[in-house]
Structure 1
Amino acid sequence: MAKTANLYARIEPDVKAQAESILTSLGIPASNAINMFYKQIILQRGIPFDVKIPQHSVLDASKLTEEQMDAELEKGYVQMLNGEGESAKDAFSSIRKEYNL
């Protein structure tokens, strides 16, 4: 089928640059990626990925009261004593991976 319809969208320049960089490394033009996305919307009859607020939000320490901060630190200490959790190295590696840092 001939591609004759145009799509104009305004997106954040940084988002565009990052996405196009990834697409370029994959050898996929942005127009093909958008076409693939639209086809997936049709096949899935909706957005082809979860659109929801993550259950685990990042804790903003600057908004905690002193009592809340003490409680959070105590939780971490108890987890450490029980051998739970992960090393700081692994935790920061996971954060970097999750947030593409």
Structure 2
Amino acid sequence: MEKTTTLNLRVSPNVKQSAESVLSKLGIPMSTAIDMYLNQIVLTGEILFVATLLKTPASVNTAMMTNEEIHAKLQKGYADAEAGNVTSAAKVFAKIRENH
């Protein structure tokens, strides 16, 4: 089947570069990969990955807290920071990824 439609996409430059790197190793042009993905949607009638929201732990979900609980958590955070009881963001995010 001849390709006659142009598809313009806006994506994060980092995502594009990372995807191109992987696809290059596989010997697949980006346009072919996108075409393959769209064909799979047509063939299966579904998106082939799960799209879900991460569940926020109740201990940090401010939507489930009173103003007093939020204030107490903030005060504890300030006290921990002043005492040097801190963890780098990189370690925190690595742990979150590990658990999901």
Q: TM-score, normalised by structure 2?
A: 0.55
Q: Tell me the distance in 2 between the aligned counterparts of 1:46 and 1:32.
A: 19
Measured on the aligned residues, the alpha-carbon RMSD in Å equals: 3.0
Question: What's the CA shift for 1:56?
Answer: 7.5
Aligned-partner residue type, residue 30 of structure 1 = M
3-state SS of paired residue (2:36):
helix
Amino-acid identity (%): 37
Partner of 1:27: 27
Q: Tell me the distance in 1 between the aligned counterparts of 2:26 and 2:56.
A: 31
Aligned-partner residue type, residue 10 of structure 1 = R
Q: Tell me the distance in 2 between the aligned counterparts of 1:40 and 1:54.
A: 25
Q: Tell me the distance in 1 between the aligned counterparts of 2:56 and 2:47.
A: 22
The runs of 5 or more residues in structure 2 that have no matched partner are 61-69, 77-90
Deviations 1:28-78 (A, max 9, x none): 100110001101111221211111123587x97xx9934xxxxxxxxxxxx
Partner of 1:17: 17
1:28-67 matched pairs, under 5 angstroms: 28-55=28-55, 65=73, 66=76
Q: Tell me the distance in 2 between the aligned counterparts of 1:44 and 1:38.
A: 10
Q: Tell me the distance in 1 between the aligned counterparts of 2:56 and 2:29.
A: 34
Runs of at least 4 residues off by over 4 Å: none
Compare relative contact order (CA 8 Å, sep 6+) and give the higher one, 1 or 2: 2
1:87-98 matched pairs, under 5 angstroms: 95=94
Partner of 2:4: 4
Report the number of matched residues. 69
Please say which of residues 47-56 and 32-41 is displaced more in the overlay: 47-56
3-state SS of paired residue (1:7):
coil
